[in-house]
Amino acid sequence: MMKTHMTAALMALMVVGLVLGAGACTESPPEHKAEEWISLFNGKDLTGWAPKFAGYELGENYKNTFRVEDGILKVSYDDYEAFDGEFGHLFYKDSFSHYRIRVEYRFLGEQTPGGPAWGFRNSGIMVHGQAPESMTLDQRFPVSIEVQLLGGNGEEERPTANLCTPGTHVEMGGELVTQHCTNSSSATFHGDQWVTVEVEVRGGEIIRHFVNGKAVLEYANPQLDGSDADAQKLIEAGAEIMLSGGTISLQAESHPMEFRKVELLPIK
Rounded CA-CA distance 187/149 in Å is 12
pTM attached to this predicted model: 0.86
- Dihedral angle computed from the Cα positions of residues 133, 134, 139 and 144, in that order, rounded to the nearest 10 degrees: -100
Which domains does the chain possess?
A: 45-266 (2.60.120.560)
Q: What number of residues does the chain have? A: 268
> Shortest CA distance to 48 belongs to which of 66, 35, 63?
66
According to DSSP, the β-strands at 72-75 and 66-69 are antiparallel
pLDDT 10s digits, 185-228:
999 999 999 999 999 999 999 999 999 999 999 999 999 999 99
Residue 239, Cβ neighbours under 10 Å: how many? 17
Least confident range of 23-27, 97-101, 107-111, 183-187: 23-27
pLDDT confidence tier of residue 32, bands split at 50, 70 and 90: very low
Average pLDDT of the segment spanning 86-96: 98
Helix, strand or coil, per DSSP, at residue 235:
helix
| Average pLDDT of the segment spanning 160-185 | 97
Contact 146, 126 (CB under 8 A): yes
